[in-house]
Amino acid sequence: MVIRFLWPGKTKNKQVRDLQNRYFRKLSRLEKCELIESKEAKGLAERNSRKIKKIEAENLEKHLKDDYIICLSDKGEEMTSLDLARFLEKLALDSHRAAAFVLGGYLGLEDSFVKKADFLLCLSKMTFSHELTRIMLLEQIYRALTLIKGRAYAK
């Protein structure tokens, strides 16, 4: 299975980026992974949120192939780590498509993009910064893969 992570823009906070890279390296040892940081909308005030989300959605879409699209959304399904592992394992068995985990920028994802998703995943009902959410997603996918592969993971 190929796992893609897509989000607009590079992670700016150095400590967060270092941790993101650490988890991505660990993930890459377990499964084929790609990290795609698409172009983010720049130079627009937040009051232009619709336009910002539209631009970022268009830039994300350019990188999708015939992927099983999993968008992170507060309207998505919450899972335990074990549930996520089972979900990924079933996806790998039932589909030959790559799993594309898509996160929005600081304003989230455009509604029309979210509607195209095959699945909506909610990491938490709480609100986290988009950069912190990137790490949380990578860590949970890493945890899921260690469960699938029968490896120990420190709790």
Q: What are the boundaries of each domain within the chain?
A: 2-148
pTM: 0.94
Quote the pLDDT of residue 96.
86
**Hey, CA dihedral for 10, 103, 35, 150, is it positive or negative?**
positive
Quote the pLDDT of residue 155.
60
**Beta strand spans in 1-155 (E):** 2-8, 32-38, 68-78, 99-102, 119-122
Q: pLDDT tens across 42-98, in order?
A: 999 999 999 999 999 999 999 998 999 999 999 999 999 999 999 999 999 998 899
Q: What is the mean pLDDT of the chain?
A: 94
Q: Which CATH architecture has domain 2-148?
A: 3-Layer(aba) Sandwich (3.40)
Percent above pLDDT 90 for the chain: 90
Which residue matches tokens 């084929």? 32
Confidence of residue 34 (pLDDT cuts 50, 70, 90): very high
The residue-averaged pLDDT of 27-38 equals 96
